Amino acid sequence: MRIILLGPPGSGKGTQAQLLVQRYDIVQLSTGEMLRAAVAAGTPVGLKAKEIMASGGLVPDDVVVGIISDRIDQPDARNGFILDGFPRTVPQAEALDDLLKHKHLKLDAVIELRVNESALLNRVETRVAQMRERGEEVRVDDTPEVLSKRLASYRSQTEPLIHYYSERRKLSTIDGMMAIDEVTRAIHRQLLALGAVEPKTHARSAAKAAPAKTGAKKTKAAKTAKKAAKSTKKAARKATKQAVKGAKKPAKRAAKKVVKKTVKKAVKKGAKKTAKKVTKKRAKR
């Protein structure tokens, strides 16, 4: 799966991205981290980015796209990826489309986490007030003022992507104001509808965690009843031997017939009783 998560700052993109990484065995690609890794590795694109950053300039789109191109060629991105922080603008989205087309890859989904901006600002204000009351240090970039600026930047630069991907029928909108697990389930349902397949390892873990089926319980009950019937039969045979021991041959035969019938009845009765007991115990559980 190749996914883009859209949403303003504080919409929960980072949290959902991590959950998707674990569930679908894909990688999260952050443009910031990719730039730093490319610079550290000394790749041609990384060296170009290093030169631009050293002069205080913004890394142009073609350099960022080149770094993404190198990154998605790596083996760990074979199952898919989530792009974090890219694209931010329509020109970047167009460049990404060209890159994927050139690599014969397709973008599977663009998930928009829609949130109430006023509620986000209230959350930050409350959190900052509580931190100050406790005497904790408040991060410079974690204040209502900074969030307001970032939200304004998102509206002007990134929000047009919603229309861009909607026109291409790639966009799915999820209510980001729901609880985290509800948002996760909504995204999962959407991805399944688009043909997402969970890795076998995850499916096996889910199967192990699932409760045993009723059929399995019935089989276990039947086995227990059969075992009980077997032990009853064994005990009855022993009793038969003792009952006919010392009797004359004709009497022995007659006694055996009588006891045989009695044993059959006893075994059936005992098996039924045991089965009933097992069923009752299962029902109580």
139 is catalytic: yes
Cβ neighbourhood burial of 282 (10 Å; 0-12, 13-18, 19+): middle
**Whether 114 is catalytic:** no
Q: Which of 88, 114, 217, 282 is catalytic?
A: 88
Instruction: State the amino acid at position 93 in one-letter form.
Output: A
DSSP SS3 for 30? strand
Can 150 be counted among the known catalytic residues? yes
Among residues 114, 150, 252, 282, the one annotated as catalytic is 150
Catalytic residue among 139, 208, 249, 285: 139
Annotation marks residue 132 as catalytic: no
Which entry of 13, 23, 48, 71 is annotated as an active-site residue? 13
CA 44/CA 156 separation, integer angstroms = 32
Residue 88 annotated among the catalytic residues of the structure: yes
Q: What is the DSSP string of 139-152?
A: PTTSSHHHHHHHHH
Q: Which one of the listed residues 36, 123, 127, 282 is annotated catalytic? A: 127
Q: Which residues pair with 162 in a beta bridge?
A: none
Q: What distance in Å separates the CA atoms of residue 239 and residue 237, rounded to the nearest whole number?
A: 5
Which residues are marked as active site? 13, 88, 127, 139, 150
